[in-house]
Each structure stands twice: as C-alpha cells, then as structure tokens.
Amino acid sequence: MTQMGEQGGARAKVADAKRRRRKQFRIFGAVVTVAAIGGGIYWFATRNLESTDDAFIEADVVQIAPQVGGMVAALHFTDNQWVQRGQPLIEIDPQDYQAQLDSAKANLAVALAARQAAEADLDLTRKTTGAAIDQARHGVEEAKELVSEARQQADAASADATRAASDVKRYQSLLHFGGASQQRFEQAEADARATNARWRAAQLAGTAAVAQEAQARAKLVDALAAPQRIAQKEAQLANVTAKVQQARAELQAAELNLSYTRIVAPSSGRMAKRAVNVGDVVQKNQALAALVVDPPWVIANFKETQLTRMRPGQPVSVRVDALPRHLFHGRVDSFQPGTGARFSLLPPENATGNYVKVVQRVPVKIVFDHLDDQLVHQLAPGMSVVPEVDVAAKPGTGK
C-alpha cells in the first residue's frame, strides 16, 4: 500500500510540473505574440518616418563692427535685446568726421571756382584767336606800307639834300667870281642844312617803320601760336576738372565716414555677446556685438542610409528639447552637397592606411512653418532638436 501511494504522489507531481510548463509556454507565447503585434504596429506606424537626435537649431549670426574708429557716444541696446532692422545700435562721436566733411565741402567749392575760371579763360582765348590773327596780319601790312613810304620819303629827302649841296657849291663859285650875291649863297646853305635835316629825319622814320614792321610780324607769330595756347588752356581746364572730381570723391568719402558713425541693425534679430560700453574707444572692424538674425532653422545630420526616400519639400515634425510640450512643423529645404566629414577642418583621406567603412552623415536643412514671434524668440542657435521626416509624403503637399 505504501509503495502504491508513493507512486501515485510521484505521478501527481509529474502531472503538476507538466501543467506548469504548459502554462509557462502559453504565457511566453502570449508575450511573444503581443510583442510581435506591438512591433508590427510600431513598424507600420514608423516605417515612413526618418528621425535623428543629431540635430540643432541654426541661424545667421552677424558681427556688429564699426567701419570707422572713435569714442562710443551712445549705446541703444542691451544684452539679448530684440531689435528691428534699421534700429540704431551704436553712435560714435561724429565731431572729427563732421570737420572732415566741412573741409571736403570747402575744397570742392575752391575746385569748382578754379574750373569756372579755367573755362572762362579757355572760352576767351578761343573767341579772341581769330580776331588777333586778322589784326596781326593787318598790322603787318600797315607796317610794310609805312616802311615803303618811309623809304620813299628818305629817297626824296636824299635827292633834295644832294641837290641842295650842289646848289651850295654852285653859288659858292658864283660868289667867288661875283656872279651871285652873298645873300643868295647863304640862302643856299640854309636850304642845304634844311634838306639834310629832313633826310636824317626820313632815315630815322624809315628805321622806326622797319622796327614797327618787325614788331607787327612778332605779333603775327604770337597770334599764329594761338592753337598751342588753346591746348594749354584745355590742359589747365582738364587739370582743374580732375581736381573737382577728386574733391567730390573726398566729399563723398567724408559723408560716408560721417554716416558710419551711426551703426544700425542690418536685420531684425536678437543682440548677443555685447562687448562695448559708452566711452569706449573702438577701432575699425572691431567686433562689438553679435546679431542673431531671424528666422532660425534646423540642421539635422541624417545618416546617408536615411536619405533614400527623403526629398526637399517633405513635411517635418520637430521637437525642441527646451520646449518639450510644443510640436513644431516644418519642411525639408535642402541637402548639403557633401557629408559633414568631407567639409570638416581635416577631411579623411581614405586612400591611405587601413580602411573601415563608417556610415556617413549628411547635413539637411529644415525650415519652420508659421513661427509666431514668441516662439521665434524662444529658439536659439545650438539648441538640440529631434526632427521626424515623413518620407512617404509627396514634396510640397504634406500628404
């Protein structure tokens, strides 16, 4: 009896163990089935989504730097302030540049006056050239006539002087032989002296006429040299015209330098990295602050294997770590034409040494859709985000 009881207990234990194993198998099968169903549902729900946690907010950052040096007279922004395009940011003391502008204006006025005088001189030279030549030629003709007339008068006076000298000799012989009176002889001598005086005067007049003719010819030569004088006047006008242009360029440069003393925001955005205070003496191109320009965007570094079905224009859901309760929407904008490693400071040289294939990442630009001002101000470059791209949607449709 005892043996039979022990055998029955052993059979009961074996049957109970089998039941427990069958129960465990059923539980395991149920768990595997639920896991498989859950995995299938997850795969079905996410099969068209590509995501990465290697993504960050980006924005254009503009360095605010002066184009002229000087002392900072006013500062119109504070740390992290949002500013609008064209809003004044920094004012540099303009007194030195105002003085340069006034000096440039005065130099331009002097140059314009000099050009006006050169133009008038050139115009007068051109107008008087023809008349001067005609007058000089007429003067030469008149001088020639005067020389001819003076020579004729000199010849006539010479003939009279010769005749008067012959009369003196004849009357002197007649006076010796008693054929003429003393009075007539003295009259002949007086006539001879008078004719000699007229002859000398005629010679002097002829010499003066020759000198006058030479002077007239010199005037004609000078008048004929008028084209050279016109060319000289034109060269002088060109010189002063160039000085006018130079003065205008200096005036424009002075006006620009004066305008550079007032620095305004080139775009709307937020100020960062302020490194200037009122009273500081700054230099040209010195970095004084940074302007983070709106709007921001996302740079997501997807694996190259994730880009097979990704296209520009596909919709993107973006979660920002700093704003976990808000879901942003955007779209794929463009792909960088190269991997991140290719554009790094020291790109890999795969043709040397041992090679191990590594999946590369390609930066993808994602832009936001319909960001309001409050959200824009909460997004800053460098923030971590997690984008999900719907690669099944047609580009630009969101479906």
What local confidence, expressed as pLDDT, does residue 284 receive? 93
Check whether 131 has a pLDDT greater than 80.
no
pLDDT band at 347 (very low <50, low <70, confident <90, very high): confident
- Residue that the structure tokens 């299938």 belong to: 40
What local confidence, expressed as pLDDT, does residue 381 receive? 94
Q: Cis link prior to 381 (omega < 30° from 0)? A: no
Hey, what amino acid is at 168?
V
3-class secondary-structure state, position 274: coil
Judge whether 69 and 282 are in contact, CB under 8 Å.
Answer: yes
Cα separation, 79 vs 93, whole angstroms = 22
Alpha helices in the chain (DSSP H): 2-46, 95-177, 182-224, 226-260, 373-378
What local confidence, expressed as pLDDT, does residue 351 receive? 80
What local confidence, expressed as pLDDT, does residue 178 receive? 58
Cα separation, 99 vs 363, whole angstroms = 52
Q: Which residues pair with 248 in a beta bridge?
A: none
pLDDT band at 16 (very low <50, low <70, confident <90, very high): confident
Check whether 193 has a pLDDT greater than 60.
yes
328: exposed, middle or buried (Cβ count in 10 Å: 0-12, 13-18, 19+): buried
Cα separation, 96 vs 221, whole angstroms = 56
What local confidence, expressed as pLDDT, does residue 189 receive? 63
- CB environment 332-369: b (16+ within 10 A), e (fewer): beeeeeebeeeeeeeeeeeeeeeeeeeeebbbbbbebe
pLDDT band at 132 (very low <50, low <70, confident <90, very high): low
Cα separation, 9 vs 110, whole angstroms = 130
Cα separation, 51 vs 44, whole angstroms = 15
Cα dihedral 326, 331, 334, 339 sign: positive
Q: Which residues pair with 62 in a beta bridge?
A: 291
Judge whether 273 and 288 are in contact, CB under 8 Å.
Answer: no
Torsions phi, psi for 337 (to 5 deg): -75, 55
Is the model more confident about 339 or about 352?
339
Token pair belonging to 398: 């969101």
Domains of the chain in start order, with CATH, are 62-92+262-290 (2.40.50.100), 98-256 (1.20.120)
Calculate the average pLDDT of the chain.
Answer: 81
Closest CA to 46 of 315, 388, 325: 388
Model-wide pTM > 0.75: no
Cα separation, 130 vs 43, whole angstroms = 103
Most distant CA pair in the chain, distance: 232
Judge whether 53 and 384 are in contact, CB under 8 Å.
Answer: yes
Judge whether 220 and 137 are in contact, CB under 8 Å.
Answer: yes
3-class secondary-structure state, position 70: strand
Cα separation, 288 vs 90, whole angstroms = 9
What local confidence, expressed as pLDDT, does residue 133 receive? 57
pLDDT band at 173 (very low <50, low <70, confident <90, very high): low
Cα separation, 43 vs 51, whole angstroms = 14
3-class secondary-structure state, position 269: strand
Both ends of the chain: CA-CA distance in Å?
A: 80
Give me the DSSP letters along 47-62. TTEEE-S-EEEE--EE
Judge whether 395 and 314 are in contact, CB under 8 Å.
Answer: yes
Torsions phi, psi for 76 (to 5 deg): -110, 25
Tens digit of pLDDT for each residue in 77-127?
999 999 999 999 999 999 999 999 999 999 999 999 998 998 888 787 666
| H or E stretch at 291 | strand 289-293
Hey, what amino acid is at 109?
A
Judge whether 195 and 163 are in contact, CB under 8 Å.
Answer: yes
CB atoms under 10 Å from CB of 137, counted, come to 16
